[in-house]
C-alpha cells in the first residue's frame, strides 16, 4: 500500500515549479481538436491547487479499461474527484470533454499530444501541469514507451 502522505509529497515535489493559466502566452498549447487554447504550462511559478486529502482514505480501484488505461487510487465526493490515472506504454486516449474543471499533473513517464493524423505534436513530461476549463475538448493522447502516471483532479 502506498503511503498517501508520501504520494502527496511526491506530487508536490514534481509540481512546485510549474504553473498554468488560461491566458495564451508563448507556452500555450494548441491542438486542431480544441475550440480554444488549452491551459499553459509555464515553469517557475507556484500552482494554486489544493492537494489536501479528505478525512477518508484512498480506495484501490480495479481496472475500468483493459486496454491499458485505469484509475489506481480514487477519492470522490460531491465537490471533487481526485485519482491517479495510469496509461500503459503506447496506449491511446481519445478526444475527451468534461463538465467540470480538470487539473492534471504528469507524475511519471510521458504523454504525447497527437494531432488528428496520430502524429505527436507536443510531449508532456514529468512535472507538466495542465488546467482545463469545463467543456474544453482535449486529446487524442498516447502514452510514451514507459507509459504515463497522472494525478487528476476534477472539480466544479
Contact 41, 130 (CB under 8 A): yes
Q: How far apart are CA 117 and CA 7, in angstroms?
A: 36
Does residue 71 or residue 148 have the better pLDDT? Answer: 148
Q: Quick one: average pLDDT of 30-51?
A: 46
Contact 39, 21 (CB under 8 A): yes
Domain ranges of the chain: 4-49+58-148
pLDDT at 28: 43
Superfamily of domain 4-49+58-148: Jelly Rolls (2.60.120.10)
Convert the pLDDT of each residue in 19-28 to its tens digit: 344 444 444 4
Q: Is the pLDDT of residue 156 over 70?
A: yes
Cut 0.75: pTM above it: no
Residue 96's Cβ-count burial label (10 Å; 0-12, 13-18, 19+) is middle
CA angle 119–120–124, rounded 5-degree value: 160
Give me the DSSP letters along 20-51: --SS--TT-B--TT-SSPBPPPEETS------
- Could you give the C-alpha distances from 87 to 7, 8, 30, 32, 48, in angstroms and in order? 18, 20, 22, 23, 26
pLDDT band at 35 (very low <50, low <70, confident <90, very high): very low
Q: Is the pLDDT of residue 41 over 80?
A: no
Convert the pLDDT of each residue in 92-145 to its tens digit: 999 999 999 999 999 999 999 999 899 999 999 999 999 999 999 999 999 999
Amino acid at each position: 500500500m502506498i503511503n498517501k502522505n508520501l504520494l502527496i509529497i511526491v506530487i508536490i515535489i514534481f509540481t512546485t515549479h510549474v504553473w498554468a493559466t488560461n491566458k495564451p502566452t508563448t507556452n500555450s498549447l494548441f491542438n486542431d481538436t480544441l475550440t480554444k487554447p488549452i491551459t499553459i504550462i509555464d515553469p517557475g511559478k507556484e500552482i494554486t491547487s489544493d492537494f489536501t486529502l479528505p478525512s477518508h482514505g484512498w480506495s484501490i480501484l480495479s481496472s475500468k479499461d483493459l486496454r491499458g488505461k485505469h484509475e489506481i487510487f480514487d477519492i470522490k465526493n460531491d465537490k471533487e474527484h481526485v485519482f491517479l490515472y495510469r496509461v500503459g506504454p503506447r496506449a491511446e486516449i481519445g478526444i475527451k470533454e468534461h463538465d467540470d474543471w480538470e487539473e492534471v499533473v504528469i507524475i511519471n513517464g510521458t504523454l504525447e499530444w497527437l494531432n488528428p493524423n496520430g502524429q505527436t505534436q507536443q510531449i508532456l513530461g514529468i512535472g507538466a501541469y495542465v488546467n482545463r476549463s469545463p467543456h474544453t475538448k482535449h486529446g487524442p493522447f498516447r502514452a510514451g514507451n514507459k507509459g504515463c502516471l497522472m494525478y487528476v483532479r476534477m472539480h466544479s
